[in-house]
Structure 1
Amino acid sequence: MAAAAHQADRPATGGQGCRAMTGGDRDGAPGDFRLTRRQLCALPGSAALLGLLGGCAFAARADAPPLPSDLFGGTTADPYLLALRAYIWGYPLVRAAQVRQNTTLPADPFRPRPPSAAGAAINRLGHAAELATPLMKQGVAPNNDTLYSLAWLDMREGPFVLEMPDFGDRYYTVQFGQADSSTEQALGQRTHGGQLPPVLIQGPDQQVALPAGMVGVRSRQRYMMIAERSLVRTPADLPAVHALQRAMRLRRWVDYAAGTDLPAPVSDQRPLLAPDTRCPAPLHFLEMLGNVLRDWRPDAGEARLISGLRPLGLAAGRGFRLEALSQAGRAAAARGLADAEAAVRAKTFTLGRNVNGWSVNYGGSVFGEDHLLRAAVAMDQIYVLPAEEALYPNARSDGGGQPLDGRNRYVLRFGAGDLPPVDAFWSITMYFARGLMVPNAAGIYSIGDRTGGLVRNADGGIDIMIQQEPPAAPRSVNWLPAPPEPFMVMMRLYRPRAPVRSGHWKPPAIQKIGGA
């Protein structure tokens, strides 16, 4: 979730004992992934970064190799090409499954969660009680604007009914995420005003007639994610949001229809990696993908693609068989997985159009047949909302193309009448380059339209000062604290108006105004 703090560890491809990499753990200039381990170690904060990486292969890779132009065309038995294909197509499936398992905790589903995390046992609704702060280490680019309510559903126990309270004029949205990391529906203030009708959620084979006055949602696979976001206007607003959370209800259809309020069963989940796996670490991704495919219901296009992966040992309904690969085939597949990971990671620097140094994915959660884009979004901003609900410009460089670094001072200047045109809210949040929030003595992690007392320029515009130390009063209110090292910022535009979605409105460039 681009706005959520519940992302799981990423599937890794290489490095003995490196089973998964933590989300948001990369540094470097936008559009340039040419970092060797020696260069990486020279970066400020690299010790913590390499600790996150745990010695994974990507940190030692020199660059991302070019992908074949017809990667998904035709048939092949080449394990290298098949591994490229499997990773780029399958990464979002594995990533989504990791998010599911890391938030539902199958081995200990009722373990208490941190107050800023919204995880819960599967088929149950969990709520975050606090906004994300730098103490939130579980994910990449958590937002500091909304409280989350989160549920993962095993549709074998469904259908389910979600009931929501009346939000009045408060912004809220309920995202229904598919198991491949795409999102086709987000319902809430934008679609139904303050009161969302009861939502009937059905699985692939469930055929309950939609009752009058309800809204229907369908999962294409066994698992579906529900992520609700409630706007918090000020810290004093938290109790009001907590009351709304307590009024939310998630029940099985049979209990809803019977008027009972029984908790849904906590169903078993298959581990992505068997505890006694014989699969070597560089091929762990294939085992994880294989376990996802054991529950997968491919559409026609996916069925052809998955069928073509049989020489790699992968099959829908059966999983991954290591013995299908010779020693040479295993080595070739490991190279393919590592190269595919590097290609996906390089793509995360250009998720969409480059606009004044900001990378903007105007397509939102619509990927079509662009498997590389879907994989990169899953790696960097999994479960983004549809573009009509939210857009997430992010910047790692200034207007001159130089990497953002807190040893410099910057200004983000909105001219009069050029503030983001949105129908809900906008914000800008500061992160370390690896995607974690930046601690600071002032406790300021984001700035936006709910920041009180922003000082305007003579022409009515607003300058946001991005630097380590607070600017002189009165512009100290306009301050977004930066760390003394490379950083990134993410702009969140909720319910963006047509000029934003069309690209007519553009985020202004971040301008360097002083050096170290």
Structure 2
Amino acid sequence: MITVKPTHVLIASLSLLLSANALADFTATPSEARAIAKEAYLYGFPVVEMYKTLYTQAVDQRSSNFKAPFNQIGNTAKVFTPEDSAFVTPNSDTPYSFVWLDLRAEPMVLTMPAIEDSRYYSVQLIDLYTHNFAYLGTRSTGNKGGHFMIAGPDWKGQKPTNVDRVIHSESNIAYALYRTQLFEENDLAKVQQIQQGYKVEPLSKYSEQPAPNSATRVSWPKPVASMSDSPELFRYLNFMLTFAPVQPVEKEVLARFAKIGISAGEPFNVSELTVEQRQALEAGIADGKAEFAEFKKTKIDTHKVTSGDFFGTREHLKGNYLYRYVGANIGIFGNSSEEANYIGYFVDNAGKPVDASKQNYMLHFDKGALPPANAFWSLTMYDGKSKLLVANPVSRYLINSRMLPDLKLDADGGLTLYVQHASPDKDKQSNWLPAPSGPFYGVLRIYLPKPEVANGEWKMPQLTPVDQ
């Protein structure tokens, strides 16, 4: 028997968000508004960045990044290239599959096929706050496949006997991001075969029962250019918050946000702000950006914090909205630390920002000191301005552990990679990772990292400048 509790907010009211003429009560003084806006900006940025991806992948069918409508799977049987711009800092080792889940009417059942033990695959389940609330796949459920039900916060019912596990999302909109490991270019056909085994079905169809009433149609607001870094952000935040009931731990936070007009389902018309109110909100947003810039300089670039601090469950993040913001800013939809470790190369061994228009670099791994991974490792290059993959004459966007047989080892058995814009000498070209002619950053991903990554036994190498 499938039972569905009515959604806590009438979704029909969503269409009013862009057309209503009255801003919700704005009761904060200018100084209060500035402080609240800073906190709300850090809180809401990941939510709004997620909405950008949702809109381009599941709503706007004219978008070059459109993947599939809600509750349908969109497969990309290719690796990401510089042309793919739906989200920043993508990996190019694992062709993606995408499912935007609308869980308002009923749960969805995700079926995973059985695959060979040597291949990594996963489904990262992300709620609208960008929390990674669960995983399916190699680490979490194994490579034997299975049937997994994803239920929204309003669903009440019993686990069907033919479902392996029920997983609850605290939001009615969720993202299922699939990764299927690609061994080499001629392996694409096998990846495509695996992707065809991924299935997504409403619980009623999977259980062969009558379908419940459809959820109310949503009027999705079109993104605007300033939506992530201006008071416009709060308009989209109000919209997104209608898809999730307030969590007890955030009641006080959201009550504070309400003083500047942030409330689920309420209109937020920036044009109705007074000059003083708008200035206060803009100053608060600037304060949030400044805190991030300082944090990046002193904590991220110096590797005093790791990617594992920024991605994970609500329980893992413990209300640290700055950390959640950092994750969305430098690489939204990053994996939790158990699934993958990310090491960002933003500066060289002297702490200077890396720029391939001014300098060549090398990254050296001692013999026996390659990144310790139970799945695989990969170093990927990104443009420092666009945060996307870097176009280059050899179409090489990364160097990974599957490429080791084709790489040239040092005389002592170590491995040196050459990170630069211009092609190096012929004897070094196999180990060349092309960089843009300007600022860049690299991300070293370690999938299913071994314990020595977390406990510090393995030491990451530094990017070292070399003569051009």
Distance 2:67 2:456 in 1: 35
- Paired residue type of 1:490: V
- Alignment match, 2:370: 419
Instruction: Sort the Cα spacing of 1:266 and 1:139 in 2 relative to 1 into closer, same or farther, 3 A.
Output: farther
Distance 1:314 1:252 in 2: 33
Instruction: Sort the Cα spacing of 1:140 and 1:348 in 2 relative to 1 into closer, same or farther, 3 A.
Output: farther
CA contact 2:104–2:215 (8 Å) conserved in 1: no
CA contact 1:273–1:284 (8 Å) conserved in 2: no
- C-alpha displacement at 1:484, in angstroms? 2.1
Normalising to structure 2: TM-score of the pair? Answer: 0.84
1:157-172 aligned within 5 A? 157-169=105-117, 170-172=119-121
Instruction: Sort the Cα spacing of 1:274 and 1:494 in 2 relative to 1 into closer, same or farther, 3 A.
Output: closer
1:276-315 aligned within 5 A? 282-315=230-263
In structure 2, which of residues 133, 141, 148 is the aligned counterpart of residue 199 of structure 1? 148
1:324-343 aligned within 5 A? 326-343=274-291
- The Cα offsets for residues 135-164 of structure 1, whole Å up to 9 and x where unpaired, read as 223332121101111111111132110011
- Paired residue type of 2:308: Y
- Paired residue type of 1:311: K
- C-alpha displacement at 1:266, in angstroms? 9.2
- C-alpha displacement at 1:98, in angstroms? 2.1
- Alignment match, 1:361: 307
SS at match of 1:194: coil
- C-alpha displacement at 1:324, in angstroms? 8.2
SS at match of 2:157: coil
- The Cα offsets for residues 16-72 of structure 1, whole Å up to 9 and x where unpaired, read as xxxxxxxxxxxxxxxxxxxxxxxxxxxxxxxxxxxxxxxxxxxxxxxxxxxxxxxxx
Distance 1:359 1:128 in 2: 33
Q: Is residue 447 of structure 1 aligned with residue 395 of structure 2?
A: no
- Alignment match, 1:471: 424
1:82-121 aligned within 5 A? 82-105=36-59, 108-109=60-61, 111=62, 114=64, 119-121=67-69
- Alignment match, 1:382: 332
How many percent of aligned residue pairs carry the same amino acid? 29
- The Cα offsets for residues 483-507 of structure 1, whole Å up to 9 and x where unpaired, read as 2222111111100011112232121
CA contact 2:73–2:98 (8 Å) conserved in 1: yes
SS at match of 2:406: coil
Instruction: Sort the Cα spacing of 1:158 and 1:351 in 2 relative to 1 into closer, same or farther, 3 A.
Output: farther
1:429-444 aligned within 5 A? 429-434=380-385, 435-444=387-396
In structure 2, which of residues 107, 126, 132 is the aligned counterpart of residue 177 of structure 1? 126
Distance 2:214 2:178 in 1: 21
1:206-245 aligned within 5 A? 206-212=155-161, 214-245=164-195
- C-alpha displacement at 1:353, in angstroms? 7.7
- Paired residue type of 1:414: F
Instruction: Sort the Cα spacing of 1:100 and 1:417 in 2 relative to 1 into closer, same or farther, 3 A.
Output: same
Moved more, 173-182 or 472-481: 472-481
SS at match of 1:100: helix
Distance 2:453 2:301 in 1: 13
- C-alpha displacement at 1:377, in angstroms? 0.9
In structure 1, which of residues 462, 465, 484 is the aligned counterpart of residue 415 of structure 2? 462
Instruction: Sort the Cα spacing of 1:82 and 1:359 in 2 relative to 1 into closer, same or farther, 3 A.
Output: closer
- Alignment match, 2:19: none
SS at match of 2:220: coil
Q: Is residue 154 of structure 1 aligned with residue 102 of structure 2?
A: yes
- C-alpha displacement at 1:259, in angstroms? 7.8
Distance 1:266 1:287 in 2: 23
- C-alpha displacement at 1:372, in angstroms? 0.7
- The Cα offsets for residues 314-351 of structure 1, whole Å up to 9 and x where unpaired, read as 22343436698544223212221233234335545566
SS at match of 1:195: coil
Instruction: Sort the Cα spacing of 1:398 and 1:359 in 2 relative to 1 into closer, same or farther, 3 A.
Output: farther
CA contact 1:154–1:267 (8 Å) conserved in 2: no
- C-alpha displacement at 1:223, in angstroms? 0.6
CA contact 1:351–1:373 (8 Å) conserved in 2: no
Instruction: Sort the Cα spacing of 1:247 and 1:333 in 2 relative to 1 into closer, same or farther, 3 A.
Output: same
1:381-400 aligned within 5 A? 381-400=331-350
SS at match of 1:362: helix
In structure 1, which of residues 134, 141, 148 is the aligned counterpart of residue 89 of structure 2? 141
Distance 1:274 1:400 in 2: 40
Distance 2:136 2:115 in 1: 13
SS at match of 1:86: helix
Instruction: Sort the Cα spacing of 1:350 and 1:224 in 2 relative to 1 into closer, same or farther, 3 A.
Output: farther
SS at match of 1:156: coil
- The Cα offsets for residues 60-112 of structure 1, whole Å up to 9 and x where unpaired, read as xxxxxxxxxxxxxxx9972111211211122222222222122112xx44x5x
- Paired residue type of 1:384: G
- Alignment match, 1:7: none
- Paired residue type of 1:288: Y
CA contact 1:413–1:463 (8 Å) conserved in 2: yes
Q: Is residue 488 of structure 1 aligned with residue 456 of structure 2?
A: no
Instruction: Sort the Cα spacing of 1:266 and 1:203 in 2 relative to 1 into closer, same or farther, 3 A.
Output: closer
CA contact 2:232–2:270 (8 Å) conserved in 1: no
- Paired residue type of 1:445: Y
- Alignment match, 2:18: none
Instruction: Sort the Cα spacing of 1:267 and 1:511 in 2 relative to 1 into closer, same or farther, 3 A.
Output: farther
- Paired residue type of 2:207: A
CA contact 1:447–1:480 (8 Å) conserved in 2: yes
Q: Is residue 125 of structure 1 aligned with residue 73 of structure 2?
A: yes
- C-alpha displacement at 1:272, in angstroms? 4.2
CA contact 1:409–1:468 (8 Å) conserved in 2: yes
1:20-39 aligned within 5 A? none
Cα-Cα RMSD = 2.9
CA contact 2:301–2:351 (8 Å) conserved in 1: no
Structure 2: gaps of 5 or more residues: 1-28
Distance 2:66 2:367 in 1: 39
SS at match of 1:291: helix
- C-alpha displacement at 1:412, in angstroms? 0.6
SS at match of 1:288: helix
Normalising to structure 1: TM-score of the pair? Answer: 0.77
CA contact 1:454–1:478 (8 Å) conserved in 2: yes
